[in-house]
Chains A and B, each alone.
Chain A
Amino acid sequence: MSRPNPPARVSALRLFCLGLMGTLLNAALSFAEQQPTEYQVKAAFLYNFLPFVEWPPQKAGAPDSPFVIGILGKDPFAGALEAAVEGKKFKQHALMVRRVSTSAEARACHVLFISRSEDGRLPAIVQELRSTPVLTVGESDKFIARGGIINFIIVEKKVRFEINPDAAEEAGLGISSKLLKLAHVRTNRETADLR
């Protein structure tokens, strides 16, 4: 994947991956023209966030302890997240996708994707995770306002994200300036009126 392989082999690999996901495929699709789905992008983003976020050392844990990406609520990824982290590591930590339902489980995660299905419970969840070094990622309009750290948005048909650095700081997480540069930064003050 990372190697500039001859086109034929890349194409074959793609087909294999897509087949594995059980997605309907147009056989005529070429590798270059293929548009990943929204959640494939979001899954990749979730994984890509990792290098730009700094967890406190005690939270990061031992090198051999896995890094957990949790999904709270209804899983919209349809296996795309697992595919995205398949065989990958983050700083020697193995990566793990876990469906969570309890707050304890949520607290054990390093990254917690909060599905739209949980929009109603958002304030409670956020309240629960406040001051806990868990990177909360959501995809609803009021996610940042409710205290979430990163929120996916769609801008010009492309997946972008908002970041609330204040919330990240409150959680004890460091967000890379590189990431902030790409993000729509929403501070607490900005979001106060929406709260």
Chain B
Amino acid sequence: MWFPRNISIRSKVTLVVLATCGVSLLVACVALFAFQLLNFQRSFKSDLSALAEIVANNSTAAVAFDDPPAAQEILSALKAKPHIVGATIADKNGSVFAQFGQNEDGAALQRFPADNGFAFDRSYLLHSQPILLDNQRIGMLYLRSDYRGVYIALLKLYSGILALILLVSFLLALLISSRLQRFISEPILRLVDTAKVIAEKKDYSVRARKGDQDEIGVFTDAFNQMLSQIEEQDAALQRAQETLSDQVLKLQHEIAERERAETDLAEAHSQLVETSRQAGMAEVATGVLHNVGNVLTSMNVSATLVSDRVRQSKAQNLIKAAMLLREHATHLEEFLTRDPKGKVLLDYLPNLAAHLGEEREEILKELALLTKNLDHIKDVVAMQQDYAKFSGLIEPVSIAALVDDAVQINAASFNRHGIEVERQYADVPLVAIDKHKALQILVNLMRNAKYAMQERRHGKRQLTLGIEPLGVDRVRVSVQDNGVGIAPENLVRIFSHGFTTKREGHGFGLHSCALAAKEMGGALFAQSDGEGKGATFVLELPIARNSDGQ
């Protein structure tokens, strides 16, 4: 249905009232006028018939006494009826007797209907009325009426009245509805204003004023209730927000603390790493000291031996012989020939010389060993000094030499525990690593292998060291023992921080080794077929670029 939708409710209410009023009035008026128009023809005919009767009656004498002027006069009275456009009186022979208005000849009169009848001729209504004198027909009256003209005039009149009625009632309806629409629109507009105020100012404490107890009143109540709820919720929200911001502050505080803790942790970790590094270095140092100790022991033995030899040397006897000779310098011959001592002396001296020569050989031998051991110590100390230097430097290193160094560091304890070392070195390029870290890792791995094999009571303990290329850019170093092995569930755990199987272990040996390997761009992992089946630790290291294994 057509209805303007985007106009104010005030206009809508007015429009509804006007439309209702207008339509009902229109229907009523149209129905009334339609009824009038439907009746028009009948009433028009009866009026015309009555008029004709009067005129016919009045004209009887004129016709009866053949007085056309008199008849003419009677007919001319019809000018008072404008819709009569023609009136004709014919005598009993049908000849025109008198005429008014439109001329009707004989042919035209043929078109008129029979007695008292009606007929339409274009827009005209034709009527015939016999003129009777004492019940005898003495003539005929023909009337021609402008039926349509009257009809149209009536139509115009009705339309005019209709328009006027509609206009007046519309104005009245407008007046009344513009007064009455306030009862409907004003509460709504009040609500709208309230809503606008709320929307603009975000002030939920505003309340709509309630008017009548109708649907709008109910709506206003609901609206206000809703506002209260919103206000409450708003307040709750505000409280929640405040709480939240408090909590956020707390949280931020906590986060800061946690960050601080993390920093502390990182520090602790780095300290730990440092500790571990130092521990590693300590291990290296221990190894060094061990080696040096061993060497020192053998040196001590050598020194004692030399000292004993020197102390028990037959050199004293030589001195006694010399003194005997000096005593008997004057009678040396005599002494040598006669004196029993002298005689013995002569035999003794060559023996002594031989013996001293032997002794000297022995001492020289021991001293050579001592010197060798001293050199060894010098080497160890030099190596330790070399590794102990602080370094984070990645440099091309020959991995075979490094592995040998690690073996050398552990050599004494390997000897002590009867561990055989087998080397399976392939020809590989230089690796780009931090030498000290790698050495620590290797020393650590070998020590672990040693511990693992220590547990093994029977059979030979064999450590197999392997070096082989891995892919195009890596070298694989394996430290394989035939010790106690590792349970499958521990293969990964052993690398986690704090894991240890040693009674006095600190548990970050392998962990820091793995970290160090990762730092150098390598990797460290373990392989074992299970407990009692030995283990292989694999250290993968990156090949140094621009190096070709020289």
Instruction: Using CB atoms and an 8 Å cutoff, list the residues of chain A in contact with chain B.
Output: 1-2, 4, 10, 31-32, 41, 45, 48, 50-52, 88, 90-91, 158-161, 176, 178-179, 181-182
B105 close to chain A: CB less than 8 A: no
7 contacts between A and B (CB under 8 A): A10-B93, A32-B93, A32-B95, A51-B64, A51-B133, A158-B66, A182-B62
Q: Is A31 a contact partner of B93 (Cβ separation < 8 A)?
A: yes
B28-71, CB < 8 A from A: 58, 60-62, 64-67, 70
Total contacts A-B at CB 8 Å: 46
Write out the residue numbers on chain A whose beta carbons fall within 8 Å of the beta carbon of B92.
1-2
A4–B386 Cα distance when bound, in Å, is 165
B489 close to chain A: CB less than 8 A: no
CB distance from B148 to the nearest CB of A (A): 29
Answer whether A41 and B66 are a contact pair too, CB < 8 Å, given A178-B60, A178-B61.
yes
B134 close to chain A: CB less than 8 A: yes
Q: Is A90 a contact partner of B61 (Cβ separation < 8 A)?
A: no
A161–B65 Cα distance when bound, in Å, is 9
Question: Which residue of A10, A50, A181 has the most chain B CB atoms within 10 A of its CB atom?
Answer: A181
Contact digits for B329-368, partner A, Cβ 8 Å, 1 yes 0 no: 0000000000000000000000000000000000000000
Among residues of A, the one whose C-beta sits closest to the C-beta of B71 is: A182
A63–B65 Cα distance when bound, in Å, is 26
Write out the residue numbers on chain B whose beta carbons fall within 8 Å of the beta carbon of A50.
134
Given contact pairs A2-B137, A159-B66, A178-B62, enumerate 15 new A-B contacts (beta carbons under 8 Å): A1-B92, A2-B136, A4-B94, A45-B65, A48-B65, A50-B134, A51-B60, A51-B133, A52-B61, A158-B66, A160-B65, A161-B65, A178-B61, A179-B61, A181-B61
Q: Is A182 a contact partner of B67 (Cβ separation < 8 A)?
A: yes
Q: Is B134 a contact partner of A182 (Cβ separation < 8 A)?
A: no
CB distance from A54 to the nearest CB of B (A): 13
Answer whether A178 and B133 are a contact pair too, CB < 8 Å, given A1-B92, A4-B94.
no
A51–B61 Cα distance when bound, in Å, is 9
CB distance from A9 to the nearest CB of B (A): 13
Smallest CB-CB A-B distances: 6 pairs: A178-B61, A48-B64, A51-B134, A2-B137, A182-B67, A182-B65
Contact of B70 among A4, A48, A159, A182 (CB under 8 A): A182
B285-323, CB < 8 A from A: none
Among residues of A, the one whose C-beta sits closest to the C-beta of B137 is: A2
A178–B64 Cα distance when bound, in Å, is 11
A4–B94 Cα distance when bound, in Å, is 7
Write out the residue numbers on chain A whose beta carbons fall within 8 Å of the beta carbon of B64.
48, 51-52
Write out the residue numbers on chain B whose beta carbons fall within 8 Å of the beta carbon of A176.
61
B103-154, CB < 8 A from A: 133-134, 136-138
Write out the residue numbers on chain B whose beta carbons fall within 8 Å of the beta carbon of A161.
65
Among residues of A, the one whose C-beta sits closest to the C-beta of B133 is: A51
Write out the residue numbers on chain A whose beta carbons fall within 8 Å of the beta carbon of B133.
48, 51
Q: Is B65 a contact partner of A90 (Cβ separation < 8 A)?
A: no
Write out the residue numbers on chain A whose beta carbons fall within 8 Å of the beta carbon of B95.
32
Q: Which secondary structure characterizes the binding site on chain A?
A: mixed
Instruction: Using CB atoms and an 8 Å cutoff, list the residues of chain B in contact with chain A.
Output: 58, 60-62, 64-67, 70, 92-95, 133-134, 136-138
Write out the residue numbers on chain B whose beta carbons fall within 8 Å of the beta carbon of A51.
60, 64, 133-134
Write out the residue numbers on chain A whose beta carbons fall within 8 Å of the beta carbon of B136.
2, 88
A36–B31 Cα distance when bound, in Å, is 60
A182–B133 Cα distance when bound, in Å, is 15
Write out the residue numbers on chain A whose beta carbons fall within 8 Å of the beta carbon of B62.
178, 181-182
Write out the residue numbers on chain B whose beta carbons fall within 8 Å of the beta carbon of A88.
136
CB distance from B71 to the nearest CB of A (A): 10
A110–B94 Cα distance when bound, in Å, is 32
Write out the residue numbers on chain B whose beta carbons fall within 8 Å of the beta carbon of A1.
92
Q: Is A90 a contact partner of B93 (Cβ separation < 8 A)?
A: no
Among residues of A, the one whose C-beta sits closest to the C-beta of B68 is: A158
Among residues of B, the one whose C-beta sits closest to the C-beta of A52 is: B61
Q: Is B66 a contact partner of A90 (Cβ separation < 8 A)?
A: no
Among residues of B, the one whose C-beta sits closest to the C-beta of A158 is: B66
Answer whether A181 and B70 are a contact pair too, CB < 8 Å, given A1-B92, A48-B65.
yes
CB distance from B325 to the nearest CB of A (A): 221
Write out the residue numbers on chain B whose beta carbons fall within 8 Å of the beta carbon of A178.
58, 60-62
Q: Is B134 a contact partner of A90 (Cβ separation < 8 A)?
A: yes
A99–B133 Cα distance when bound, in Å, is 26
Contact of A182 among B61, B93, B94 (CB under 8 A): B61
CB distance from A154 to the nearest CB of B (A): 13
Among residues of A, the one whose C-beta sits closest to the C-beta of B139 is: A2
Among residues of B, the one whose C-beta sits closest to the C-beta of A179 is: B61
Question: Which residue of B61, B65, B70, B95 has the most chain A CB atoms within 10 A of its CB atom?
Answer: B65
CB distance from A181 to the nearest CB of B (A): 6
CB distance from A49 to the nearest CB of B (A): 9
A154–B457 Cα distance when bound, in Å, is 189
Write out the residue numbers on chain B whose beta carbons fall within 8 Å of the beta carbon of A160.
65, 67
Question: Which residue of B60, B66, B67, B70 has the most chain A CB atoms within 10 A of its CB atom?
Answer: B66
A159–B95 Cα distance when bound, in Å, is 19
Write out the residue numbers on chain A whose beta carbons fall within 8 Å of the beta carbon of B58.
178
